[in-house]
């Protein structure tokens, strides 16, 4: 009996030692480097997550065809952050950190995803680069967070100037209570005031509703000449625009980058004449090659061209950083802070807040379900 008991204890000790060794070594075996991805793969706008996932996948295929990262295969583990659902991003991060033991993550694509996991990023010292989150609250929130996407403060400044140039010194705004919309609203109110603008109506609604008619009644009572519609996802923007026109409001409409197929499917002709501020147009041979590969891979064009190319660049930035300094989050952060990069977005670098430098936005007007650039 004693002999069997001793053998059982011995086996248990061996299993514990093996388990601890595996846990400490992480999930990256000697032939693989695992990177995490968090994006909106379901929820209100899964095409947003798909756009970034596609860019990463194209980059990984190229990297592995060229020999990987320092001779090791690059493998990305894709997790659904669900955009405006904080629990989705937290669950995704915990899985990537606790089970997969990644040291670098591409994503969250939405501001809410990044904001939800900022403390976890700091506590666990995991590097993250986002190709979609735009909230100004993200800037400088963690030394481990970088982004090659937009910053709402600069976008708000350029939008404010455009609205005043169009002849509107006062405007109504309707936002939802998501992280993206709340951050953009705060930036816009501040920047619009700097150029002499006045906010005559400021309405905040619950994200994800299907009916905004009572809020639109409040808008109509003020008879605004111009309205900035500021939700987090295209579906909500489409509902508001459609119901606004149905209520008889003929105000000039301004939007952020909401004019996607999901938006037009709901808004229809109601959106004609609206002005849209959008991310910079991507151009050049490399970006066009990325977009062509995306269309071949998925059977349709990406809804978000900039974000697809930016996600491709983000993966390439991670590859270069690991090749130069190793798979260590602190070393990656230090490397990125002092380098210039070239990719599908052209030449770019990161400032001391972790943001990409020098972004210029484009303006478009909606005509018959099409976006026509305003020169």
**Is 204 in the same domain as 114?**
no
**Is 146 in the same domain as 158?**
no
Q: Is residue 200 part of a domain?
A: yes
Of 248, 278, 308, the last residue of a domain is: 278
Q: 């993250």: which residue's tokens?
A: 128
Q: Is residue 362 part of a domain?
A: no
Mean pLDDT (whole number) for 204-225: 93
**Is 78 in the same domain as 222?**
no
Nearest to 102 by CA among 65, 77, 84: 77
**Is 248 in the same domain as 183?**
yes
The predicted pLDDT at position 43 comes to 82
**Is 225 in the same domain as 315?**
no
d(CA 91, CA 95): 6
Cβ burial, residue 234 (10 Å; 0-12/13-18/19+): buried
**Is 71 in the same domain as 160?**
no
Q: Is residue 25 part of a domain?
A: no
Token couple for 352: 């001391």
Nearest to 359 by CA among 111, 189, 114, 151: 151
**Is 157 in the same domain as 174?**
yes
* Structural domain boundaries, residue 178: 153-278
Q: Structurally, how many domains does the chain consist of?
A: 2
Kindly report, residue by residue over 286-296, the tens digit of the pLDDT. Answer: 999 999 999 99
Of 278, 306, 339, the last residue of a domain is: 278
Chain centroid to Cα 351, Å, comes to 18
Mean pLDDT (whole number) for 253-275: 95
Nearest to 344 by CA among 315, 375, 301, 373: 315
Predicted confidence (pLDDT) at residue 201 exceeds the cutoff of 80: yes
d(CA 179, CA 135): 7
Instruction: Kindly list the distances between the CA atom of residue 312 and the CA atoms of 27, 51, 193, 320, 353, in Å, as whole numbers in the listed order.
Output: 23, 10, 37, 13, 22
Token couple for 360: 């210029």
**Is 161 in the same domain as 81?**
no
Cβ burial, residue 288 (10 Å; 0-12/13-18/19+): middle
- 3-state DSSP call for residue 132? coil
Mean pLDDT (whole number) for 7-35: 54
Q: Is residue 13 part of a domain?
A: no
d(CA 130, CA 137): 14
**Is 157 in the same domain as 146?**
no
Q: Is residue 355 part of a domain?
A: no
Instruction: Kindly list the distances between the CA atom of residue 216 and the CA atoms of 50, 242, 246, 370, in Å, as whole numbers in the listed order.
Output: 32, 11, 10, 25
Kindly report, residue by residue over 66-95, the tens digit of the pLDDT. Answer: 999 999 999 999 999 999 888 999 999 999
Token couple for 8: 């059982």
**Is 228 in the same domain as 174?**
yes
Plot region of 350 (φ>0 → left; ψ -120 to 50 → alpha; else → beta): beta
Mean pLDDT (whole number) for 185-209: 94
Mean pLDDT (whole number) for 124-136: 95
Of 278, 311, 336, the last residue of a domain is: 278
Q: Is residue 71 part of a domain?
A: yes
**Is 274 in the same domain as 294?**
no
Q: To the nearest whole number, what is the mean pLDDT of the chain?
A: 91
CA dihedral 64, 68, 72, 77 (to 10 degrees): -60
Instruction: Kindly list the distances between the CA atom of residue 258 and the CA atoms of 18, 100, 144, 261, 291, in Å, as whole numbers in the listed order.
Output: 51, 34, 29, 9, 20
Q: Is residue 170 part of a domain?
A: yes
Side-chain-side CA neighbours of residue 259 (13 Å):
27
Neighbours of 248 (CB within 10 A): 8
Q: Are 204 and 176 in contact (CB under 8 A)?
A: yes
Kindly report, residue by residue over 317-347, the tens digit of the pLDDT. Answer: 999 999 999 999 999 999 999 999 999 999 9
d(CA 272, CA 274): 6
- DSSP summary character for residue 195: T
pLDDT band at 44 (very low <50, low <70, confident <90, very high): confident
d(CA 48, CA 62): 22
**Is 237 in the same domain as 337?**
no
CATH number where 65 lies: 3.40.50.2300
Neighbours of 101 (CB within 10 A): 18
Mean pLDDT (whole number) for 140-169: 95
d(CA 62, CA 30): 20
pLDDT band at 6 (very low <50, low <70, confident <90, very high): low
Q: Is residue 367 part of a domain?
A: no
Kindly report, residue by residue over 236-248, the tens digit of the pLDDT. Answer: 999 999 999 999 9
The predicted pLDDT at position 11 comes to 46
Kindly report, residue by residue over 86-127, the tens digit of the pLDDT. Answer: 899 999 999 999 999 999 999 999 999 999 999 999 999 999
Predicted confidence (pLDDT) at residue 205 exceeds the cutoff of 90: yes
């Amino acid at each position: 009996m004693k002999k069997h008991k001793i053998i059982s204890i011995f086996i248990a000790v061996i299993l514990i030692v093996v388990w601890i060794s595996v846990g400490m070594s992480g999930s990256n075996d000697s032939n693989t480097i695992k990177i995490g991805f968090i994006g909106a793969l379901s929820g209100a706008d899964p095409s947003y997550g798909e756009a970034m996932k596609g860019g990463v996948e194209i980059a990984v295929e190229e990297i592995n065809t060229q020999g990987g990262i320092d001779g090791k295969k690059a493998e990305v583990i894709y997790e659904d952050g669900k955009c405006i659902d904080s629990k989705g991003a937290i669950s995704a991060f915990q899985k990537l950190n606790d089970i997969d033991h990644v040291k670098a993550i591409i994503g969250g694509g939405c501001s809410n995803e990044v904001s939800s996991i900022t403390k976890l990023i700091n506590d666990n010292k995991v590097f993250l680069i986002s190709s979609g989150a735009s909230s100004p609250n993200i800037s400088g929130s963690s030394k481990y967070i970088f982004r090659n996407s937009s910053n709402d403060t600069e976008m708000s400044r350029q939008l404010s100037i455009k609205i005043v140039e169009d002849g509107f010194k006062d405007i109504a705004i309707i936002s939802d209570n998501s992280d993206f919309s709340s951050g953009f609203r705060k930036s816009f109110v501040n920047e619009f005031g700097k150029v002499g603008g006045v906010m005559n109506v400021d309405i905040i609604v619950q994200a994800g509703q299907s009916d905004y008619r009572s809020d639109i009644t409040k808008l109509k009572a003020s008879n605004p000449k111009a309205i900035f519609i500021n939700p987090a996802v295209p579906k909500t923007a489409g509902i508001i625009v459609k119901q606004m026109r149905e209520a008889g409001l003929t105000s000039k409409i301004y939007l952020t980058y909401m004019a996607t197929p999901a938006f037009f499917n709901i808004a229809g002709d109601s959106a004609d004449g609206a002005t849209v501020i959008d991310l910079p147009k991507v151009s050049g041979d490399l970006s066009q090659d990325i977009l062509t590969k995306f269309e071949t891979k998925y059977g349709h064009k990406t809804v978000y061209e900039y974000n697809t190319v930016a996600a491709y660049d983000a993966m390439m930035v991670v590859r270069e950083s690991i090749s130069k300094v190793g798979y260590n989050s602190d070393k990656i952060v230090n490397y990125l802070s002092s380098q210039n990069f070239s990719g599908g977005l052209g030449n770019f670098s990161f400032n001391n807040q972790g943001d990409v430098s020098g972004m210029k936005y484009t303006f478009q007007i909606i005509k018959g379900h099409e976006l026509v650039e305003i020169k």
